[in-house]
Structure 1
Amino acid sequence: MSRSESTLASTIPGEHIHISVDDCTAPFWTAAKERRLSAPRCGDCGRFRMPPTPFCPQCQSRAMDWVDLTGAATVYSYAVVRGLPQFPDLVLVAAVLDLPDAPGARIVSNVVDVAPEEVSIGMHVEVDFMPIADGWLLPAFRPAAGD
Protein backbone atom coordinates (compact mmCIF):
# COMPACT_ATOMS: atom_id res chain seq x y z
CA MET A 1 0.00 0.00 0.00
CA SER A 2 1.43 3.41 -0.87
CA ARG A 3 1.78 5.97 1.87
CA SER A 4 -0.30 8.84 0.58
CA GLU A 5 -1.14 11.72 2.86
CA SER A 6 -4.80 10.68 2.96
CA THR A 7 -3.90 7.33 4.56
CA LEU A 8 -1.72 8.74 7.33
CA ALA A 9 -3.10 9.00 10.85
CA SER A 10 -3.79 12.49 12.13
CA THR A 11 -5.83 14.22 14.84
CA ILE A 12 -9.20 15.91 14.87
CA PRO A 13 -8.68 19.35 13.31
CA GLY A 14 -7.25 21.57 16.06
CA GLU A 15 -9.92 24.23 15.94
CA HIS A 16 -12.41 21.56 17.06
CA ILE A 17 -10.40 20.53 20.13
CA HIS A 18 -11.18 22.47 23.31
CA ILE A 19 -9.61 21.69 26.66
CA SER A 20 -10.65 22.37 30.22
CA VAL A 21 -7.91 23.51 32.60
CA ASP A 22 -8.08 23.45 36.39
CA ASP A 23 -5.53 23.90 39.19
CA CYS A 24 -4.47 20.26 38.93
CA THR A 25 -3.98 20.14 35.14
CA ALA A 26 -2.76 23.70 34.48
CA PRO A 27 0.96 22.82 34.82
CA PHE A 28 0.58 20.08 32.18
CA TRP A 29 -1.15 22.39 29.70
CA THR A 30 1.19 25.31 30.39
CA ALA A 31 4.19 23.06 29.71
CA ALA A 32 2.55 21.79 26.50
CA LYS A 33 2.00 25.38 25.38
CA GLU A 34 5.79 25.79 25.79
CA ARG A 35 6.37 22.56 23.79
CA ARG A 36 7.39 20.57 26.87
CA LEU A 37 5.93 17.26 28.03
CA SER A 38 5.63 17.28 31.80
CA ALA A 39 4.27 14.80 34.35
CA PRO A 40 3.41 15.09 38.03
CA ARG A 41 5.47 13.15 40.57
CA CYS A 42 4.45 12.74 44.19
CA GLY A 43 6.54 14.98 46.40
CA ASP A 44 6.47 12.35 49.16
CA CYS A 45 6.67 8.84 47.66
CA GLY A 46 8.02 9.77 44.20
CA ARG A 47 5.33 7.96 42.18
CA PHE A 48 4.50 9.47 38.79
CA ARG A 49 0.88 9.77 37.80
CA MET A 50 -1.02 10.56 34.63
CA PRO A 51 -3.52 12.01 34.27
CA PRO A 52 -2.75 14.61 36.93
CA THR A 53 -4.79 14.17 40.10
CA PRO A 54 -4.94 16.35 43.21
CA PHE A 55 -3.52 13.57 45.40
CA CYS A 56 -1.20 10.61 44.97
CA PRO A 57 -3.07 7.33 44.42
CA GLN A 58 -0.22 5.51 46.21
CA CYS A 59 0.13 7.52 49.45
CA GLN A 60 -2.67 10.13 49.19
CA SER A 61 -0.18 13.00 49.57
CA ARG A 62 -1.07 16.34 48.00
CA ALA A 63 2.62 17.19 47.53
CA MET A 64 3.42 17.27 43.81
CA ASP A 65 6.43 18.15 41.69
CA TRP A 66 6.24 18.62 37.93
CA VAL A 67 9.02 16.94 35.98
CA ASP A 68 9.89 17.73 32.36
CA LEU A 69 10.21 14.55 30.30
CA THR A 70 12.23 13.90 27.15
CA GLY A 71 9.08 13.30 25.09
CA ALA A 72 10.01 9.70 24.30
CA ALA A 73 7.23 7.13 24.63
CA THR A 74 6.38 3.56 23.68
CA VAL A 75 3.05 2.34 22.33
CA TYR A 76 1.42 0.19 25.03
CA SER A 77 -1.93 -0.24 23.27
CA TYR A 78 -3.76 1.42 20.40
CA ALA A 79 -6.92 1.47 18.29
CA VAL A 80 -7.45 2.67 14.74
CA VAL A 81 -10.53 4.84 14.20
CA ARG A 82 -11.63 5.42 10.62
CA GLY A 83 -14.02 8.35 10.33
CA LEU A 84 -16.15 10.29 12.73
CA PRO A 85 -19.61 11.63 11.90
CA GLN A 86 -18.37 15.16 11.18
CA PHE A 87 -15.02 13.96 9.73
CA PRO A 88 -15.76 10.87 7.61
CA ASP A 89 -12.28 10.75 6.00
CA LEU A 90 -10.34 11.13 9.25
CA VAL A 91 -8.03 8.31 10.36
CA LEU A 92 -6.98 8.36 14.02
CA VAL A 93 -4.60 6.10 15.91
CA ALA A 94 -5.62 6.57 19.54
CA ALA A 95 -2.91 5.14 21.77
CA VAL A 96 -2.00 4.47 25.37
CA LEU A 97 1.69 5.32 25.67
CA ASP A 98 4.25 4.35 28.29
CA LEU A 99 6.50 7.23 29.37
CA PRO A 100 9.94 5.76 30.12
CA ASP A 101 11.16 8.83 32.06
CA ALA A 102 8.05 8.65 34.28
CA PRO A 103 7.93 5.00 35.37
CA GLY A 104 4.38 3.77 35.87
CA ALA A 105 2.80 6.74 34.08
CA ARG A 106 0.96 6.48 30.79
CA ILE A 107 -0.63 9.08 28.57
CA VAL A 108 -3.50 8.70 26.12
CA SER A 109 -2.83 10.54 22.87
CA ASN A 110 -2.71 10.15 19.10
CA VAL A 111 0.03 8.66 16.96
CA VAL A 112 0.23 10.84 13.83
CA ASP A 113 1.93 10.97 10.43
CA VAL A 114 2.15 7.22 10.10
CA ALA A 115 0.11 4.66 8.16
CA PRO A 116 -2.09 2.91 10.75
CA GLU A 117 -0.85 -0.53 9.66
CA GLU A 118 2.70 0.52 10.61
CA VAL A 119 1.78 1.18 14.26
CA SER A 120 2.62 -1.66 16.63
CA ILE A 121 2.78 -2.36 20.33
CA GLY A 122 6.27 -1.51 21.54
CA MET A 123 6.80 1.10 18.80
CA HIS A 124 8.98 4.03 19.85
CA VAL A 125 7.40 7.44 19.38
CA GLU A 126 8.25 11.01 20.35
CA VAL A 127 6.11 13.96 21.27
CA ASP A 128 5.18 16.81 19.00
CA PHE A 129 2.68 19.56 19.70
CA MET A 130 -0.32 20.44 17.53
CA PRO A 131 -2.13 23.78 17.69
CA ILE A 132 -5.69 23.55 19.04
CA ALA A 133 -8.42 26.03 19.99
CA ASP A 134 -7.76 29.01 22.25
CA GLY A 135 -3.99 29.09 21.61
CA TRP A 136 -3.19 25.81 23.39
CA LEU A 137 -0.99 23.00 22.06
CA LEU A 138 -1.95 19.33 22.19
CA PRO A 139 0.72 16.65 22.68
CA ALA A 140 0.61 14.09 19.86
CA PHE A 141 3.25 11.50 19.03
CA ARG A 142 5.14 10.65 15.83
CA PRO A 143 7.32 7.64 15.07
CA ALA A 144 10.72 8.19 16.67
CA ALA A 145 13.52 9.24 14.35
CA GLY A 146 15.74 6.32 13.45
CA ASP A 147 13.14 3.64 14.16
Structure 2
Amino acid sequence: MPAAVRTVARFDLPESDAFTRPYWDAAAEGRLLLRRCRAEGCGAAHHYPREFCPYCWSENVGWEPASGRATLYTWSVVHRNDLPPFGDRVPYTAAVVDLAEGPRMMTEIIDCPEPALRIGMPLVVHFRSAGATGAADDGGFALPVFRPA
Protein backbone atom coordinates (compact mmCIF):
# COMPACT_ATOMS: atom_id res chain seq x y z
CA MET A 1 0.00 0.00 0.00
CA PRO A 2 1.51 3.39 -0.98
CA ALA A 3 2.37 5.81 1.78
CA ALA A 4 -0.09 8.65 2.23
CA VAL A 5 1.11 11.97 0.90
CA ARG A 6 0.95 14.64 3.53
CA THR A 7 0.58 18.21 2.40
CA VAL A 8 1.24 21.22 4.57
CA ALA A 9 -1.17 24.14 4.27
CA ARG A 10 0.47 27.25 2.80
CA PHE A 11 -0.53 30.19 5.01
CA ASP A 12 1.80 32.53 3.15
CA LEU A 13 0.12 32.32 -0.27
CA PRO A 14 -2.97 34.26 -1.31
CA GLU A 15 -6.05 32.71 -2.81
CA SER A 16 -6.60 34.05 -6.29
CA ASP A 17 -9.94 34.17 -8.03
CA ALA A 18 -11.38 35.86 -11.12
CA PHE A 19 -11.76 39.15 -9.23
CA THR A 20 -8.25 39.33 -7.73
CA ARG A 21 -6.41 37.83 -10.73
CA PRO A 22 -5.55 41.30 -12.23
CA TYR A 23 -3.92 42.28 -8.92
CA TRP A 24 -1.78 39.13 -8.74
CA ASP A 25 -0.92 39.23 -12.46
CA ALA A 26 0.27 42.83 -12.09
CA ALA A 27 2.31 41.93 -8.98
CA ALA A 28 4.00 39.13 -10.93
CA GLU A 29 5.00 41.83 -13.45
CA GLY A 30 6.32 44.15 -10.72
CA ARG A 31 3.34 46.50 -10.64
CA LEU A 32 1.16 47.39 -7.65
CA LEU A 33 -2.53 47.96 -8.34
CA LEU A 34 -5.19 49.69 -6.26
CA ARG A 35 -8.93 49.96 -6.57
CA ARG A 36 -10.44 53.44 -7.00
CA CYS A 37 -14.06 54.45 -6.77
CA ARG A 38 -15.39 56.00 -9.97
CA ALA A 39 -18.64 57.25 -8.44
CA GLU A 40 -19.25 60.97 -8.79
CA GLY A 41 -18.25 62.80 -5.64
CA CYS A 42 -16.19 59.96 -4.18
CA GLY A 43 -13.06 58.89 -6.08
CA ALA A 44 -11.47 57.25 -3.03
CA ALA A 45 -8.68 54.73 -3.51
CA HIS A 46 -8.73 51.63 -1.34
CA HIS A 47 -6.70 48.57 -0.55
CA TYR A 48 -7.23 45.56 -0.07
CA PRO A 49 -9.07 44.96 -3.36
CA ARG A 50 -12.85 44.86 -3.00
CA GLU A 51 -15.67 44.80 -5.53
CA PHE A 52 -17.27 47.89 -3.97
CA CYS A 53 -16.09 51.19 -2.52
CA PRO A 54 -15.78 50.88 1.28
CA TYR A 55 -16.50 54.63 1.59
CA CYS A 56 -19.66 55.15 -0.46
CA TRP A 57 -20.60 51.51 -1.24
CA SER A 58 -20.62 52.14 -5.00
CA GLU A 59 -19.87 49.14 -7.19
CA ASN A 60 -18.40 51.51 -9.79
CA VAL A 61 -14.75 50.82 -8.94
CA GLY A 62 -11.79 49.94 -11.10
CA TRP A 63 -8.14 48.99 -11.04
CA GLU A 64 -5.42 51.61 -11.36
CA PRO A 65 -1.63 51.51 -11.04
CA ALA A 66 -0.15 52.73 -7.77
CA SER A 67 3.08 54.70 -7.63
CA GLY A 68 4.73 52.16 -5.35
CA ARG A 69 5.68 54.88 -2.87
CA ALA A 70 4.66 54.70 0.78
CA THR A 71 5.55 55.86 4.28
CA LEU A 72 5.90 53.66 7.32
CA TYR A 73 2.90 53.94 9.65
CA THR A 74 3.77 51.23 12.19
CA TRP A 75 5.62 47.94 12.49
CA SER A 76 6.35 44.96 14.68
CA VAL A 77 9.34 42.67 14.47
CA VAL A 78 8.13 39.09 14.64
CA HIS A 79 10.53 36.81 16.50
CA ARG A 80 8.30 33.75 16.73
CA ASN A 81 5.68 32.35 14.38
CA ASP A 82 4.59 28.73 14.55
CA LEU A 83 2.76 28.66 11.21
CA PRO A 84 4.76 27.13 8.36
CA PRO A 85 6.73 28.57 6.60
CA PHE A 86 6.91 31.75 8.71
CA GLY A 87 8.91 30.06 11.46
CA ASP A 88 11.79 29.66 9.01
CA ARG A 89 11.78 33.41 8.29
CA VAL A 90 11.93 34.93 11.76
CA PRO A 91 12.77 37.57 12.57
CA TYR A 92 10.82 39.59 10.02
CA THR A 93 9.19 43.00 10.11
CA ALA A 94 5.41 43.05 9.73
CA ALA A 95 4.23 46.56 8.94
CA VAL A 96 1.43 48.87 7.97
CA VAL A 97 2.32 51.50 5.37
CA ASP A 98 0.48 54.54 4.05
CA LEU A 99 0.49 54.34 0.26
CA ALA A 100 1.08 57.64 -1.56
CA GLU A 101 -2.44 57.34 -2.99
CA GLY A 102 -3.96 57.25 0.50
CA PRO A 103 -4.84 53.69 1.52
CA ARG A 104 -3.07 51.80 4.26
CA MET A 105 -1.62 48.41 3.45
CA MET A 106 -0.32 45.54 5.56
CA THR A 107 3.02 44.31 4.29
CA GLU A 108 6.56 43.37 5.25
CA ILE A 109 9.59 45.64 5.42
CA ILE A 110 12.76 44.19 3.94
CA ASP A 111 16.39 45.31 3.67
CA CYS A 112 16.17 47.51 6.76
CA PRO A 113 17.53 46.69 10.22
CA GLU A 114 15.12 47.32 13.08
CA PRO A 115 17.10 50.25 14.59
CA ALA A 116 16.79 52.14 11.29
CA LEU A 117 12.98 51.94 11.18
CA ARG A 118 11.20 55.26 11.74
CA ILE A 119 7.54 56.22 11.56
CA GLY A 120 7.07 58.27 8.42
CA MET A 121 10.18 56.94 6.67
CA PRO A 122 9.81 56.82 2.89
CA LEU A 123 9.47 53.37 1.36
CA VAL A 124 9.22 51.88 -2.10
CA VAL A 125 7.50 48.68 -3.18
CA HIS A 126 9.47 45.63 -4.16
CA PHE A 127 8.03 42.30 -5.30
CA ARG A 128 9.23 39.05 -3.79
CA SER A 129 8.52 35.80 -5.53
CA ALA A 130 6.44 33.63 -3.26
CA GLY A 131 9.02 30.99 -4.11
CA ALA A 132 11.45 33.00 -2.00
CA THR A 133 9.72 31.45 1.00
CA GLY A 134 11.65 28.27 0.25
CA ALA A 135 8.73 26.23 -1.05
CA ALA A 136 8.71 24.93 -4.59
CA ASP A 137 4.95 25.34 -5.05
CA ASP A 138 4.56 29.12 -4.99
CA GLY A 139 1.56 29.29 -7.32
CA GLY A 140 3.40 31.85 -9.46
CA PHE A 141 2.69 34.63 -6.96
CA ALA A 142 4.79 37.69 -6.32
CA LEU A 143 4.10 39.47 -3.04
CA PRO A 144 4.40 43.24 -2.53
CA VAL A 145 6.87 44.10 0.24
CA PHE A 146 8.52 47.44 0.96
CA ARG A 147 12.07 48.63 1.50
CA PRO A 148 13.56 52.03 2.33
CA ALA A 149 13.37 54.46 -0.59
Tell me, yes or no, whether TM beats 0.5: yes
Q: Pick 1 or 2: higher relative contact order, CA cutoff 8 A, min separation 6.
A: 1
Q: What is the aligned residue count? A: 128
Q: 2-side partners of 1:35 and 1:16: how far apart?
A: 22
2:116 paired with 1:111: no
Q: 1-side partners of 2:16 and 2:89: how far apart?
A: 30
State TM-score, norm by structure 1: 0.79
Q: 2-side partners of 1:91 and 1:117: how far apart?
A: 14
2:55 paired with 1:58: yes
2:65 paired with 1:72: no
Structure 1: give runs of 5+ residues left out of the alignment.
1-14
**Alignment RMSD:** 1.8
State TM-score, norm by structure 2: 0.78
Percent identity among equivalent residues? 35
2:35 paired with 1:37: no
Whichever residue aligns with residue 111 of structure 1, its letter is I
Q: 1-side partners of 2:35 and 2:24: how far apart?
A: 12
Q: 1-side partners of 2:76 and 2:117: how far apart?
A: 10
- Deviating 4+ runs (over 4 angstroms): none
Structure 2: give runs of 5+ residues left out of the alignment.
1-9, 131-137
